[in-house]
Structure 1
Amino acid sequence: MPPRKKRNSAPPPRVADRIGALPDSMLHHVLSFLPVQAAVRTCVLARRWRHLWRSTTGLRILGLDDEEPVEFQQLRKFMDHLLILRDRTDLGTVEIKLGEPSDNDDVEHYVKLWIRFAVMCKVRVLSIDIYEPDLYLGDMRLVSQHLRTLHVDGIALQGTFLDFASCPSLEDLKIAHCNICDGKVSSRSLKHLSITRCWSDSHCRVHVSAPGLVSLELDDFSGRTPFLQNMALLETAAVYLGPHCEDVCLSFDSGVFCGANNNACDNCVPIEDDCSSDCVLLGGISSARHLKLLSESGKFVFTRDLKCCPTFSKLKTLLLNEYWCEAPNLDPLTCILKNSPVLEKLTLQLFSKGPNHKVEMKGHYCSMEGPSAISEHLNIVEVKCNVVDERILKVLKFMSAFNICKPIITLSMLPIF
């Protein structure tokens, strides 16, 4: 009888824990992408993970857990324990995002507490997304030598919170869906500023003072248009005066703004602290190299600014919409072209929101035959629209008078998907 084969009693090979073998610093960074609740739960994975959550490089304080809403009281209690047990290591990012609006009166108190904790831990990127329009951070001043990026969404801002003099490293500021009650957005270090779909109930304009700004976005502000102070280092700016802008001429008719005349309607009459003696918008952005200026019909701010139109001495590219071509003699368009001595590219996006346009017309400017008031550097002119009608023909006739898009205009039908 043949001998029995010996069974292999050796244990199965162990699967290497490659993630657990990573350095602590790398695991701290990986855990920072998880919501705080999920990051803490990793303590049960193995002894190696027991305390890693205490020193993550980021905190994501979210009103959602496994995609389910978390009651604020539950989140508050969780955060009370976390802030006590967590190590006081530096934080790269902190995100505070609450879901549905809460009736809890403690929301403001605890949001401020979490912000102060983030600042204490030398946070560099702070994001506050609350969607509580009645939550005010007006009496809170940010004091941080390390904060570089701040995103604020869905709360009310006023007073000292908008003064970033005590944040000398702040470079990127985004404000969206916020009630900017009053005061002044002020920072000498700021390089990039975006104010999107915000509003103000104040009769006085919100002032924006950021002399070191490189890029600016002011999109669909409701209320009185913010007053922009000089931005000498500005490279790009995009300004859109949307339908909720209160700088409306009540006597607007066929492109005639009483705000540009002596007999002004009630809305066009300057009020105290309105800065009406200077440009509201154009003066502050006159140093930009690339401009996008869009407005709904009937808004008089751009037209009034053109009364003392500054010189756009560095402007290379300019995009305008039909607002600039609605006046009977296209005076706004003429004025801004005459005050842009080094303009190289002009784009007119007329009666078409895009991004796809059915008709694009491209041409050039003949400086040898053109008036000396137009930039001799202008070599690209684009007209984008959906249909060539009387309004477009009026603009083309105007440009022909300036030897723009001459001798030939090419039309290309673009596919619309």
Structure 2
Amino acid sequence: MKSIWLIAVSVVALASPAFAQPPAQSPTGNLDKLSSFKSTGTAEPKPVPQDGRRAGAIRKNLENVKLPPGFKIDLYAIVPDARHMAVGPSTGVVFVGTRKSHVYAVTDRDKDRVADEVKIFAPSVEFKVPNGVCFSRDGVLYVVEQNRVLQFPAAEFFYEGPDVAAFVVTKQGDLIPPSEESYNHTARVCRVGPDNKLYIALGQPFNVPPKSKWLLFRKIGMGGIIRMDQDGKNREVYATGIRNSVGMDFNPADKTLWFTDNQVDGMGDDQPPGELNRATQMGQDFGFPYYGGGTVRTLEYKEDPVPAGVVGPQAEMAPHAADLGMMFYTGKMFPQAYQGGIFSAQHGSWNRTKPIGARVMFTPLKPDGTAGKPQVFAEGWLTENGEYLGRPVDVAMLPDGSLLVSDDTAGAIYRISYEGK
């Protein structure tokens, strides 16, 4: 009798949606179906809980965050492993990449500026390090993985179900040579530029690359930024001499491309500086690996002549603070002093005896379009005893002009708004 009961329970469990296993898929099997607008049979995933003890603990930690007068910070959403963000241009739905295997869709249905629902986006797609998410102006979502680029037309309108129309822009193994895949520096970021081309930053996997690799990397755009048509054609290397950029954006005023760059580890607490860079045209070299950051030469390349015309950083950041996501502020909510300037996230140091970072920076622009002096905008995630309460990754703007900040350590997105006079 007991064995019959166990068999019955097993049958019910296997039949129940709560215990259903996702259907097995080949690397392209479900994508082939999705691009043909066919169902994959994937179950709808459960939303991520947005309340309870975890949400309370995160809100408590936010009490430590210091902001300029008139600003306040709140918990916007709990999003596991939250990294880079893309805000839907029509609906304000926030798509969030991770360094793991999921992309999340964050919805504020009643527009009270707190998320009502967070769930896995396109669960029928098997992602690998889908860190980079960005929108075209006409609403096409791009997801840049470790070694593939996918396109989701009208994602913000059809994300509700598990199956979403998806197309391959760059197939698996074509973004970088498979032989150069690594666990290090694989979090890609992307932007669609004023020229309607797709720009992608490709980190190189080394602290400082061996000379035997550098020519290959320059040729294919690793340790640089590449661009291509939105369908993947006409790929070209846009910029080189970049160690590992995990944040970029175009200045809407003059169309120049700006990007952060993480600099060389193991050179001491106070060098080299992090960088905020500006690319004014295609083909510029930003100095790595000859420079480890700023004008600090690397030991490995100190005897090699620096290429002519190397472009220095617009602004130097604190050494090892790990500058990641950045954006130009185009909203109207914040005071005039912030409009047109750059917000950027510092993830926080690991290669330093006294940690630094875990904050949001603001860099104003001068009338000639160059950078002013960076200043701390939001801090408090790093305690006096060196404990991280959170680690900001990216910044993005909601349609109302408020600022979102992602945090992959707390697994959350915060919203910074302005209520001052």
- TM-score, length of structure 1 as denominator length: 0.26
Q: Greater RCO between the two (CA within 8 Å, min separation 6)?
A: 2
Structure showing the higher helix proportion among its residues = 1
Structure showing the higher strand proportion among its residues = 2
- TM-score, length of structure 2 as denominator length: 0.26
Larger Cα Rg: Structure 1 or Structure 2? 1
